[in-house]
Amino acid sequence: ALYSGTTPDEPEKTPEEGYHLTEDLTDHAIAWIRQAHSLAPDKPFFAYFAPGATHAPHHVPAPWSDKYKGRFDDGWDALRERMFARQKELGVVPPDAELTARPAEIPAWDAMPDELKPILARQMEVYAGFLEHVDHHVGRLIDAIEDLGVLEDTLVFYIVGDNGASGEGTLNGSFNEMFLFNGAAALETPEFMASHIDDFGGPAAYNHFAVGWAHAMDTPYQWTKQVASHWGGTRNGMVVHWPARIAARGEVRTQFHHVIDLAPTILEAAGLPAPTTVNGIPQMPLHGTSLAYTYDDAAAPDRRTTQYFECFVNRGIYHEGWTAVTRHSTPWVVAPLPPIADDRWELYGPDDWTQAHDLAAEMPDKLAELQALFLEEAAKYNVLPLDDRRIERFNADLAGRPQLIHGTTQVLYGGMQRLSEASVISIKNRSHSITADISVPEGGASGVVVAQGSAFGGWAVYFVEGRPAYCYNLFGLRRFKVYGASAIPAGEHQVRAEFAYDGGGLAKGGTVTLYVDGAQVGEGRVDGTEPMIFSGDETTDVGADTGTPVSDDYAAGENGFTGTVHRVAISIGADAEDPDHLVSPDDWFRLVMARQ
């Protein structure tokens, strides 16, 4: 969901027509930098350029991924060995660094089923193409700065990746990551993925690679993203370029720093103090430390000596070269978690660059010292209380956090689009109704009245050949549809879909009944629902379905409602039950005034 400032900004072409987010963002960044330099050539500009690569979904035009066909057929273990040798050849890891062992939780390539290996290899081909594709477009951005004649005196930080590479794709990888976010990975069988192997990386997929590839991308460290205790979950290389100020060329710096150190570095480079207030709000002091001192002195002592890490209670502490770490959970394992107090801590020394040798049993006093330091840092920076819930965090009701929308009914109006999932009342795991007041044009209606989600999961109320319809999209696996019996004539009408949830837990099915002006016109079953999240990035729209279409009855970008949608009420609980199946004008007034 793209915004220009606070205004939704729909792409001018589809993926099938050649659209890609990275290219679009690059075009916008280049245009903005050119404009800034043109209007104020003596004034420095600041650009934060953050493409989606290489975060999932891994999307890239086929020619980029096809370049890598066959390159990964020997698997992630062999790739890890090759990468480690290359890292030593380049000098980006110390000569005495050790390649850490693959954890038992990550299977060997040779242990994977032969029928799955072509799918796994394709996942990595797509990722590699995606990585090269973003590097190409970053190159376009750098070239544009050079064309302006200011590259020599522009400070560039280049960090690419997905923290540590992400292990969210589970052991087999995923064609649609929404399975994983809803705790339904078991539904995505190897047979299902094999049937879609040619779609990986394209607009029909929401794909992610297998854990084994993530581990290889985190060479030479242990573990992956979300395991913030170990370097495999946190450590990235970074390129710094500033020829006018940095005399060194092609050198490596090994001082320890954290991403929070970039802001102080930029402020120092620009000769600016950190702001004490922003928009009238007092600011806490910056926690970072400028890394500019490393430019001229490769042997300068570290100025960042302590840093905590925590993600889903996988936690660690760095202090003067030592690290104490504990892995509380594994990203791709859905199982009861142990008490936090039972977590086993590991200790690694300053000379152990890859965290290969656990010293906890040999040096319990040092470990205890660092454990205490973690608690001090965690208290100082508001990490506490520790919260190890995972899937539950997607659902505000289960997580127990504040929500934007309160009550049991929300009224949306025609033209409201690109509403994030968290800004719309949740209809998941409960009975609910969707009621729309519409004007049908002469000749009948077509297009979308209201939709939430995407081709990878969601629901929609729409018209097909003048008839009202409802679709529930279950992970893109199945689409359950209910159609009205006949076309609706021109004029003012009310369309209502009631979903009677079966109950008895999460992700159950239900019965959908369609009404027009209070009269039943259709009924059907939905055998299962999505319990936590429809999409990580697509939205709720009134009067159209932006992004990828929930239903295959209409196309992307060509599904606007041909009439007028005046308002839509989404109701849960008792408000979803209407024995008359019609919201009267007095009811509408009550609903609208309740939102004031």
pLDDT tens profile 50-84: 998 999 999 999 999 999 999 999 999 999 999 99
**Mean pLDDT score, 220-239:** 95
Q: What percent of the chain has pLDDT over 70?
A: 99
Answer whether 439's CB lies under 8 Å from 420's CB.
no
Residue 285 clears pLDDT 60, i.e. is over it: yes
CA distance 464 to 481: 12
H and E: helices and strands count for the chain: 11, 21
pLDDT of residue 441: 97
Residue 361 clears pLDDT 70, i.e. is over it: yes
Residue 462 clears pLDDT 90, i.e. is over it: yes
Answer whether 409's CB lies under 8 Å from 594's CB.
yes
Looking at every residue in the chain, the average pLDDT score rounds to: 94
CA distance 46 to 48: 7
* Three-state secondary structure string covering 550-565: CCCCCCCCCCECCCEE
Answer whether 425's CB lies under 8 Å from 573's CB.
no
pLDDT of residue 186: 84
| Token digits of residue 453 | 């989600």
Give CB contacts under 8 A, 24+ apart, made by 2-11: 3/418, 8/417, 8/418, 8/546, 10/546, 10/557
Answer whether 376's CB lies under 8 Å from 324's CB.
no
CA distance 555 to 540: 16
Answer whether 215's CB lies under 8 Å from 209's CB.
no
- 3-class DSSP state of 347: strand
Answer whether 157's CB lies under 8 Å from 294's CB.
no
**Mean pLDDT score, 143-161:** 95
Phi, psi of 589 (to 5 degrees): -60, -45
Answer whether 528's CB lies under 8 Å from 428's CB.
no
pLDDT of residue 334: 77
Residue 394 clears pLDDT 80, i.e. is over it: no
Show Cβ contacts of residue 364 under 8 Å, excluding neighbours closer than 6 positions.
none
CA distance 439 to 564: 5
Answer whether 162's CB lies under 8 Å from 168's CB.
no
Residue 8 clears pLDDT 80, i.e. is over it: yes
Phi, psi of 491 (to 5 degrees): 130, -170
Phi, psi of 199 (to 5 degrees): -95, -10
- Which has the closest alpha carbon to 436: 462, 459, 407? 462
pLDDT class of 182 with cuts at 50, 70, 90 = confident
pLDDT class of 202 with cuts at 50, 70, 90 = very high
pLDDT tens-digit readout, 403-461 = 788 889 999 999 999 999 989 999 999 999 999 999 999 999 999 999 999 999 999 99
**Mean pLDDT score, 297-313:** 96
pLDDT of residue 310: 97
pLDDT tens-digit readout, 490-539 = 999 999 999 999 999 999 999 999 999 999 999 999 999 999 999 988 99
With vertex at residue 204, the alpha carbon angle to CA 202 and CA 205, rounded to the nearest 5 degrees, is 70
pLDDT of residue 407: 87
Residue holding tokens 């003048």? 466
Strand partners, 501: 510
pLDDT class of 594 with cuts at 50, 70, 90 = low
Q: What percent of the chain has pLDDT over 90?
A: 84
| Token digits of residue 487 | 């076309």
pLDDT of residue 164: 86
pLDDT class of 185 with cuts at 50, 70, 90 = confident
pLDDT tens-digit readout, 474-498 = 999 999 999 999 999 999 999 999 9
Residue 335 clears pLDDT 90, i.e. is over it: no
pLDDT of residue 160: 86
pLDDT of residue 595: 57
- 3-class DSSP state of 298: coil
CA distance 587 to 575: 11
Residue 596 clears pLDDT 70, i.e. is over it: no
Answer whether 125's CB lies under 8 Å from 68's CB.
yes
| Token digits of residue 166 | 């992400």
- CA dihedral in degrees (443, 444, 449, 454; nearest 10)? -90
DSSP label of 419: B
CA distance 20 to 14: 8
Strand partners, 347: 324
CA distance 121 to 201: 13
- Which has the closest alpha carbon to 480: 466, 494, 469? 469
